[in-house]
Structure 1
Amino acid sequence: MEKSQLTSTNRNEKVLRLTMDANFFFEKAMKCLDQYRYDKALKYLQRAVEYEPLNPVNYCNIAGIYSELGNYDESNNVLTKIITDIDSSMTECYFYMANNYANMDQFELAEKALLQYLEEDPKGIYLEETEEMIEFLSYELNRPMEIKAVKAREVFLKHDHARKLLEEGDFVDSIQELEALIQDYPDFLSARNNLALAYLYVGNVDKCMSSIQYVLHEDAGNLHGLCNLAIVYKQTHATEELALLLEQLKKVYPYHQEHVYKLALTLGILGEHERAYHHFKRLMKSEEAKADRNYLHYFAIASFNSKRFDVAKTIWMKMLNLDHEYNVAAYFIDHFDALVSEDRTFNYHYVLPFEEKIKELSDHGKKKHVIKYTQDIVFMTSLQWGLFNGDDSNKVRAIQTMKLLKDDQSKETLREFLLDPDQKDYYKRLAIFVLKSLGEKEPFVSNIDETLSVTPERSVLPSWNEKWQQIIDIAVENMDGRYDILQQHDVQVLWVEFLSRAYPDIPRIQKLEGWAAALEYIIAFLHSVSISFQELSDRYGVSQATIRKQVKKMDEVCGLWEKVSAILPDISNKINKE
């Protein structure tokens, strides 16, 4: 390895030694890329290639820079060299070449490169993007593309389904499908990367690490694997290991949009907001990214966290038309000046600030932790804003959070919410349910059914029996922590409906726990929560026969199974067989 030394002619002066190797020039190139100085970055990478002529990563970076500069021919020459002279297994180069040809309007050549990618790539990393390009090329060529073989089609479809399950939060089913997939295709690294994430989401750090280690053993430079490893290091407080890996990630300059996004988001999560900003800015060259509210929001967060406040606000303003369903951008715009004055950073989550803390608050709902949250101005402001201005899911989570906080300010906010004529009656009733659970005494003045009233009447019931309330309390107490606030609230709604329909022939109430267990069973069933009579019998201390009996009584009065039989047939048969 060649080294260059600079020394002083004066022997008394300190000697400055400068080691010049491939890594030295690579780091220089990365710094230039951060500053968008592509010409200098290219020169440094070419020097790095002189030291490591068989390292395909440097060649890929060179090809990427040529493409960024619009020199697509030269980019393809480099990509061809990688395939023919350096590493023939890097079949993704055909996909990059197809992109370059498409940018030059050489659609026949783009088609040829794309078909070669489909026929030779075993993993199908870019199959989803390939489908979009096929549609584009078919339009430009005015004919369908003749695709003879797709080497990774079957495995891609299975992996894509498992990935969607992961994105939707169905971690258990995603794990099952991914485990089955890698059993058939043990070298499918993309599946192993997603499996690592699924394991992490369910708290199985050991299996997560095992999956990541397999990926990196097979491909030491796998970007998704390295990013996943960094997140695990952060969560497990492996400070030294994280510092070393972070230095490695800072030197990476990905070629493809998916890799740029993964690295940008990871660096942002790790607190490297300046570098995250530059990578997200690169993404914004894509029309697809400009129309994606997730990309835009993360770019705005990176801009805000790196003190580029004007850029952040501009991005959130552009997001308003894309974000009308979630209202996240609207919150940041409405409170922008106050947020800037707080001098804080925000996490890379597409939610309102208070929503990031809900799980943490649920896990640490002790008084000293609650005080910390109630003194957080941004947390409390976004909580109130979400309740009055957010979408339906924001409102539910806000009410749930106020139930956890139990503070006077939250109680007062819920009472104000009851009087807002623009809010839905359902959520006002949910707020009343929470106020009661917090020990607040009636009456509750509310604007329900467009009428200002004092505590909504319980249907046709002339009075409210203490035992009836005890049954609700027993059910909710047993369901707390295992069901969300909507499901707990539905217990009360169902019980009131049953009593109202049965009145004046309300059954004799004896074993309170049996009725409470029956309520939980029905609510669990209606919300697709897995539960059995045996579990309820153990939890409530009553026989299965008693619970089944009360369930049938409520069904006879309310016609519950008839209402859902079109969706869930043979429910009554299930009850009888269980």
Structure 2
Amino acid sequence: AVSCYNLKKFKAAFKYWEKIERIHPNNTISGYYKHHVKEIMTGEENFSELAYHFQVPYEEIIRRVKSIHDLLKLSVVDLKNKWEKSDNLESLLSWGLDLNDALIKKAILNVVASFRDKKAEQFLRTFMLRKSEGSELIKEALALLKDMDAEEPYLVYADDSIVEVNIRHGQPYDNSINMFEDIPNMAINRLKESYFNDCEDDIQDIWESCLSHWKMTGTLPRIRKPEGWAAALELYYRVQGELPVNKMELAASWQVSYSTLMKNYNEINRYIAEFWSKFNLS
């Protein structure tokens, strides 16, 4: 396609990019160049040779990265609406996974996982079959699928072959006493970084209510990622104190999915409500 374009055989180039789009319908690169070659043919853009690699120009990369960044600032409702109503968001996020930036990839995986639907599940499953992804990102995708209660086994590309993976609930963390002590301290340290130096007693009281509930009901959870509970403690503290908070940004800062944050936050809310209901306060 690029060779034809550089030889100014624009119609042939257009056909090749169309063919690429049929082979790989979710890619956004061929669509970009189809639009570009149309503008060349109609005289809306001036001709200049293209580089021989399958990627959009640098300026377009910057624009798309900014678009992803702006999208992640949207409310959960708006973002999920875009995800459900159109494939454009999925295509853009799929393109983002081709960037050589682990932080962007991790953010994309967590945002997609927060949608908790079949399309999100397939997005993560497809990611794990990519040959060039690092083990940490694959582990992140596995953990997100597990958190979504996606059916096992999961297929992963590893060591030049596709293997099945089953995850025992609760891995890789053990429910040690130290971990349960660490969770409130994680939230306290984070809040103190924001100069909420008097938060310690409140956070410990909130967490003690959770522990008491679990001990009384015999439902001590197997915690896979303590950051999920620490993030929920921070959110609860901020909400109760009527402090400004963006839930999506908070989840991302703790490197947990939005769905995990809200699930744990809602549980804390329920435990606290049950505790106070015993006193018949009205």
TM-score tier by shorter-chain length is 0.3 to 0.5
Q: Give TM-score scaled by structure 2 length.
A: 0.44
Q: Give TM-score scaled by structure 1 length.
A: 0.24
Greater helix content: 1
State which structure, 1 or 2, has the greater radius of gyration over its C-alpha atoms. 1
